Amino acid sequence: MKKMSLIIISLLVFVGGCSLFEKKEQKVAVNANSGLTATAKVIGKNNESYGNAYFEEEDNGVKMTLALSGVPAGKHGIHIHSVGKCEPPTFESAGPHFNPTSKEHGKDNPKGYHLGDLPNLEVGEDGKVDLNFLAEGLTLEKNAANSLLREGGTTLIIHESEDDYKTDPSGNSGARIACGIIQ
C-alpha cells in the first residue's frame, strides 16, 4: 500500500510539474476599448449652457453620450463639424461638416456619407436629451485622419431642423442653434 501511495503521489507531482512548463495561450481582445475619452460643453446661441456631450473610444467608432437640457423641442440635425470653434450666435466658425473621406452628405446618399453625419436628435417638450449612440468610423486617437481630436479641433453642432439624410452638404437642417468644442 505504501508503494502504491508513493507511486500515485509521484505521478501527481510529475503531471502537476509538467503543467508548469506548458505554453499557456494568453487571450487579448483585438479591439479592446482604448480608454480614450473627450467632452464638449454645449452652448446655445445666447451662450447659455445646454449641458455636455461625452465621447468614448469603442471597437468600431466613438460612443457619444448626450446629457443636455433646455434644448428646443423637436427634431434636430446633429453633426460633427471640422473646426474647433464655437462663436455664437451663428456658430459658422465651426466650419463645414467633418468629412475626411470626401463623401457627400447623408446616410441615405448613394455616394456615401460624411463621418460627421449623425442620427437626428428628437427632443421632447421638457427640452432634455439623454441619449447614447455609436458614430462608426470615428476615433479619438489624436491626429488620425478620422480623429475628433485632430489639429484645429472639431465641434458638435445641433441644427434648428431635422436632417433629411440626403441633401448635400448639410441635410437641409437649417441654422446652427448649439455648439460644443470636442476636447
Residues 6+ apart with CB under 8 A from 106: 113, 117, 163, 164, 165, 166, 167, 168, 171
- pLDDT at residue 34, as a whole number: 60
- pLDDT at residue 86, as a whole number: 97
Cα torsion 79, 174, 44, 93: sign? positive
Cα torsion 105, 103, 65, 43: sign? negative
Place of cell 432634455: 128
pTM: 0.78
Per CATH, the architecture of 37-177 is what?
Sandwich (2.60)
Q: What is the 3-state secondary structure (H, E, C) of 92-154?
A: HHHCCECCCCCCCCCCCCCCCCCCCECCCEEECCCCCEEEEEEEECCECCCCCCCECCCCCCE
- pLDDT at residue 63, as a whole number: 96
CB atoms within 10 A of CB 26: 5
Closest by CA to 78, choosing from 48, 37, 114, 109, is 114
- pLDDT at residue 23, as a whole number: 33
Residues 6+ apart with CB under 8 A from 101: 112, 114, 115, 137, 146
pLDDT string in tens for the chain (183-residue length): 555 444 444 444 444 444 433 333 322 232 344 689 999 999 999 999 999 999 999 989 999 999 999 999 999 999 999 999 999 999 999 999 998 988 877 787 777 778 888 999 999 999 999 989 999 999 999 989 999 999 999 999 999 999 878 777 767 788 999 999 999
